[in-house]
Amino acid sequence: MQLLRKIAYPFALIYGLVVHVRNYLYDINVFSSTSFNTPTICVGNLSVGGTGKTPMIEFLIRTFCKQYRIAVLSRGYRRKSSGFQMANAASTVAQLGDEPFQIYRNYPNTIVAVDADRANGIERLENEQQPEMILLDDAFQHRKVKASCNILLTAFDNLYSEDTFLPTGSLRDSKNQAKRAHIIVVTKCPSKISNKDKLGIRTLLNPSAKVPVLFASFGYDHFVDADGIKLNLEAIEHKKVALVTGIANAGHLLRHLNTLNLNFDHLEYADHHLYKNEDVRKFNTYDIVLTTQKDFVKLEAKVDRLYYLGVRHQFLNEEDQLIKQLILTIIKRRHEPLT
């Protein structure tokens, strides 16, 4: 492993240099960023996956959907379509990508669209849908858009301050870009974390004094199937069970399942994996297949006895109310007061 890191180190230096130059050109306005009339909340990170962006988008939908007409705009990573696409009842995973499709399925009354060109996507949404708030999924690096509020996520067990550039680490953007965050959320925390540990994390992250750092853990639902029927874990105690994951980091999920004393084979794939026929045939040799909802939407019509585990952010010490007020305050500095 040390040898591989040494070999990859020059590539990390080159990658980091390119990232620094790009950000510098934006900072001095050689490259321009566009602001929009509609309040936009960007959810992103500095690393490659694994911080809980989609659960955060879903948290924001639940937080604001009763007050505002919300739209979600995503790139739609690894979708088979191109350009701007609007989710509707006939949409497929291939058209939208796994995460936008999941969001639309969970919140069908929310406007969901995908476009790799976020500025174009926002313009289309403003012209065609007139949302009152737009949530930008995984757009922290997309500096062509200047969001009203930037929420930067970092995982408790992989803080951006302790990480390094790809390919030796998982950083895809410079640590100093945390300066653009209005709110930092440390995700995947233990459900009980001391004030001393929080202070230590804030010291490591070293944000501006005016940037709040909030803390959240993952809460897991019961395994359910497509009809919402809960899986009785006792009934599968002696079954042949597979856990299928195509996510950036399955470590937190594995720790949760181990607390349930489940016996299973973990079949691990790369993030956003596009499952093939041979994968499906393998899965169907199991009595029960457990997976994430992101993987479920790609497998539900192909795999028998398939169940997914829902996940959500749970803010510690009632910080869910705090982040709501912080977001509204930040937005109101740049826009007409939201009613």
Cα distance between residue 332 and residue 326, in whole Å: 10
Q: One-letter amino acid identity for 300?
A: E
Q: What is the pLDDT of residues 76-98, one digit of tens each?
A: 999 999 999 999 999 999 999 99
CA atoms within 13 A on the CB side of 230: 6
* pLDDT at position 338: 61
Whether 113 and 241 map to the same domain: the answer is no
Q: Round to whole Å and give the CA distance between 253 and 58.
A: 18
Check residue 2 and give its pLDDT.
58
338 within some domain: no
In a domain, 339, yes or no: no
DSSP 127-183: HHT--SEEEEET-TT-TTB--SEEEEEEETTB-GGG--BTTTSSBSS-GGGGGG-SE
pLDDT digits (tens, 9 = 90+) for 31-58: 999 999 999 999 999 998 789 999 999 9
Q: Is position 337 within any domain? A: no
Interatomic CA distance for residues 122 and 111, integer angstroms: 12
Per the CB < 8 A criterion, the answer to whether 40 and 148 are in contact is: yes
176 with 47, same domain: the answer is: yes
Residues 230, 302 share a domain: yes
**Which residues are CB-contacts of 260 (< 8 A; sequence separation ≥ 6)?**
233
Residues 254 and 206 placed together within one structural domain of the fold: no
Q: For residues 50 and 198, state if they share a domain.
A: yes
What is the mean predicted confidence (pLDDT) over 273-282? 96
Considering the domain architecture, whether residues 294 and 328 belong to the same structural domain is answered as: no
pLDDT tier, 339 (very low <50, low <70, confident <90, very high otherwise): low
Same domain, 181 and 244: no
What number of other Cβ atoms are within 10 A of residue 24's Cβ?
12
Please give the model's pTM, rounded to 2 decimal places: 0.94
> Are 9 and 121 part of one and the same domain?
yes
Same domain, 242 and 126: no
Domain enclosing residue 247, as ranges: 220-313
Radius of gyration for the alpha carbons in the chain, expressed in angstroms and rounded: 20
Query: Which amino acid is located at 42 in the chain?
Result: C
Mark whether 118 and 8 lie in a shared domain.
yes
Residues 164 and 277 in one domain: no
